[in-house]
Amino acid sequence: MDKVESFGGSSGSGAAIDTPIIASPASLRALDWFVFFLGDVRVGFGPFVSVYLTSVGWTQTDIGLVLTVGGLVALGGQMPGGAIVDVVRSERTAAAYAVAAVGVSALLLAIWPRLATVLTATVLYAGANCVLSPAIAAISLGLVGYGAMSERLARNARFASIGHALAAVGMGAIGYLVSTQFVFFLTAALTVPTLIALFQIRTSEIDPARAHGAVAVPHSGDRPISLISLLAIRPLLVLAAGVLLFHLANTPILPLIGGILASRFAIWATMIIASLVVASQLVIAAISPWIGRKAQMWGRRPLFLASFAVLAARAGLLAVVSDPYVMIVLQILDGVSAAIFATVVPLIVADITRGTGHFNLALGVVGTALGVGASISTLLAGYVSDRFGSETAFLALAATAAVAFVIMWIGIPETRGDALPVDA
């Protein structure tokens, strides 16, 4: 088994002298609620943006421009966002500013839906999101340490999914009963309980060295590696390639399903799509704790590989399925692979960057790969679907996932360190 320390350049013994875990139940519960409310807040910036802007007279070209700008900022901001979290003294403060920026973005959208204002809000939200994801991971690692990180990440995934599902239903109802504009006022309001939960996490309980992937008391000769050396860590690059390929195969599936449903079941298409989203989130919430426990028992590699196998099976089955009820059942598989990714990918990053002091920057590297895969996938899949049909597009996505499985089987090592103490 590959040793974690060989990836990061830190001595094995240095890991054993991490400071003890001192996180209180109150801080851990506060992190639960922070992740839950943040899941609520993020829902407002999903498909509701397009619906709202359409309702106030925007053209699809202008909406596409705004979404493209936001996507580019999100893509380019992943590594800077991670680097910011690695540099700042307080991960909690960085998260607080990012949440506040999201609230401001929501208010700008609700009050002034003009091009310049909406572009500003979109850029602000995308930049804040680039900080929030690594900040949550850093706070989690700083609170619980490496030994409990798998279960903590799984718990984060569970609470985020519950928040996402509840908010999707609630905001959908509010948009229907009141107006889509009110969705963004509600999104801004939800940043208040989000910040309250965040500030219940005690900064004194977040180990600053461990939150950045550094050993608390390095041995003589231990030095943080350079950024160039970090980017040369082979397992990190293989992981980034795997994340890119996974999202290349996964991201277009729901839009393709939406197109099929719109053409075959126009009246019920929106409701079925909502059911697909909620089904996936409920599965993530249900199985994430199990994923976290098994990642610690079995290792990271088997579960990581399983996510590609599940994705390939789902895409392949969708090529021969047209019944919307069967599609909802197949969405269970999406929840399974998403739960694995939400838990295992940041866990692998934590493993391979231990001792480097650049955990959050490495998360940004992986996030950039995710963004690249997601950005180009819908265009490629849409082209294949238009030229050769949706069945061929689904088969191509299944083949992509299968090829990725083989590449990861060959290239990704097991990163769990059996020598790591339970409280490290």
Question: Which amino acid is present at 275?
Answer: S
372 belongs to a structural domain: yes
What pTM was estimated for this model as a whole?
A: 0.79
pLDDT at 13: 36
What integer pLDDT is reported at residue 270 of this predicted model? 57
- Report whether pLDDT(213) > 80: no
Percent of the chain's residues with pLDDT above 70:
85
What is the 3 state secondary structure string of 257-282? HHHHHHHHCCCCHHHHHHHHHHHHHH
Q: How many domains does the chain have?
A: 1
Q: In this structure, are residues 288 and 161 in contact, taking their beta carbons and an 8 Å threshold?
A: yes
Give the best-scoring range by mean pLDDT among 81-85, 128-132, 358-362. 128-132
300: CATH: 1.20.1250.20
Contact 134, 103 (CB under 8 A): no
pLDDT digits (tens, 9 = 90+) for 151-168: 898 899 899 989 888 887
pLDDT attached to residue 273: 66
CA pair distance 325, 14, nearest whole angstrom: 53
Rounded to an integer, what distance in angstroms lies between the CA atom of residue 272 and that of residue 257? 10
Does 105 fall in a domain? yes
Tokens 């895409």 -> residue: 315
Per-residue pLDDT at 268: 60
Residue 51 lies in a domain: yes
Distance CA 177, CA 175 (A): 6
Asked if residue 144 is part of any domain, the answer here is yes
User: Where in the sequence is the domain holding 266, given as residue range(s)?
Assistant: 4-9+22-210+226-411
Q: Residue 367: count other Cβ atoms within 10 Å of its Cβ.
A: 26
- Neighbour count for residue 54 (Cβ, 10 Å): 13
Please name the residue ranges forming H helices in 232-358.
Answer: 234-250, 253-264, 269-298, 300-318, 324-352
Residue 317 lies in a domain: yes
Classify residue 15: in a domain, yes or no: no
pLDDT tens-place string over residues 400-418: 999 999 999 999 999 886 4
Whether 416 maps to a domain, the answer reads no
The reply to whether 305 falls in a domain is yes
